[in-house]
């Protein structure tokens, strides 16, 4: 009589999403949970919002946790790494995670001639220096065969007056992604860039969501005829982190509905 053997249960992949308490980060976290990922989100100040996302993920049967992090303060990264190690050990009994999504960010809508050095530095610290040194700090904790997804913007392909400083930082992120893909490829770690178009979130004070004229303009220059929604982005993040995208690396994936084509 043949004897059946059961294979060990494989642990769920863990994704870490910066700025996961709201907007596109929150949407991505929820869609990842639907795809069977456990999720760690970071938040800067709104712990209650972050905990609400954790509870939503847990309601789907996945494990989740939230950690405070200001991606604009690189000096805080060593302490964050130690907090993450402790969380992984206590919550998952693991030493590493699998996927990093550099998503946290702020907006700025000003002509270049009116952009101050302080505003430039804030954007640089949050959007470029932060992801650079946070990724550097976290790479030793990412499992071989994992992935990194950096968030950019459609504004690196098309120019809309007032977003020059913001788009400059995102252009740097796209170059960073390609170099990371080259340098981490030997470990099987994929690195890609996600470039959303105009999305109805609270980004930039929720202007696109609350300004009908702006929304009509965006719809008029978008091939699919409307502004984007968070649910247009989250599933793409989940797909790019999944094994279905195992042969995609060093790519910029724009998710804009064909804006300004």
C-alpha distances in angstroms, 131 versus 77, 134, 157, 229?
11, 5, 20, 24
N-terminal to C-terminal alpha carbon distance within the chain: 65
Query: What is the C-alpha to C-alpha distance for residues 213 and 215, in angstroms, rounded to an integer?
Result: 5
Residue that is written with structure tokens 């392909």 in the block: 157
Q: How many beta carbons lie within 10 A of that of residue 210, not counting itself?
A: 11
* Alpha helix segments (H runs only) across 139-206: 164-184
Question: Distance (Å, rounded) from C-alpha 36 to C-alpha 78?
Answer: 29
Instruction: Enter the tokens of residue 23.
Output: 């907007």
Do the Cβ atoms of 139 and 191 come closer than 8 Å?
no
Q: Return the structure tokens found at 11.
A: 């642990």
Q: CA geometry: angle at 68 spanning 139 and 188, to 5°?
A: 15
Task: State yes or no: is 166 an active-site residue.
Answer: yes
DSSP 60: T
d(CA 125, CA 142): 23
Six-digit token string for 4: 């059946």
Q: Which listed residue (43, 163, 166, 179) is catalytic?
A: 166
Of 42, 92, 35, the C-alpha closest to 67 is 42
Catalytically annotated residues: 166
């Amino acid at each position: 009589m043949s004897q059946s053997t059961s294979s060990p249960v494989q642990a769920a992949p863990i994704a870490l999403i910066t700025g996961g308490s709201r907007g596109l980060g929150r949407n991505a976290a929820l869609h990842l949970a639907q795809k069977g990922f456990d999720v760690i989100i970071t938040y800067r100040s709104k712990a209650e919002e972050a905990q609400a996302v954790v509870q939503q993920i847990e309601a789907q049967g996945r494990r989740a946790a939230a950690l405070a992090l200001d991606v604009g303060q690189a000096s805080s990264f060593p302490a964050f790494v130690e907090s993450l190690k402790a969380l992984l050990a206590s919550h998952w009994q693991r030493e590493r995670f699998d996927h990093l999504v550099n998503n946290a960010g702020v907006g700025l809508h000003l002509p270049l001639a009116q952009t101050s050095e302080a505003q430039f530095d804030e954007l640089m610290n949050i959007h470029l220096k932060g992801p650079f040194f946070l990724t550097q700090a976290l790479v030793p904790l990412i499992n071989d065969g994992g992935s990194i997804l950096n968030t950019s913007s459609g504004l690196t392909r098309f120019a809309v007056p007032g977003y020059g400083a913001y788009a400059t930082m995102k252009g740097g992120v796209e170059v960073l992604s390609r170099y990371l893909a080259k340098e981490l490829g030997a470990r099987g770690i994929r690195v890609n860039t996600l470039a959303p178009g105009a999305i109805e979130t609270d980004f930039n004070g929720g202007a696109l969501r609350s300004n009908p004229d702006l929304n009509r303009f965006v719809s008029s220059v978008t091939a699919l005829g409307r502004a984007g929604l968070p649910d247009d982005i989250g599933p793409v993040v989940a797909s790019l982190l999944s094994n279905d995208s195992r042969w995609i690396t060093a790519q910029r994936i724009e998710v804009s509905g064909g804006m300004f084509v």
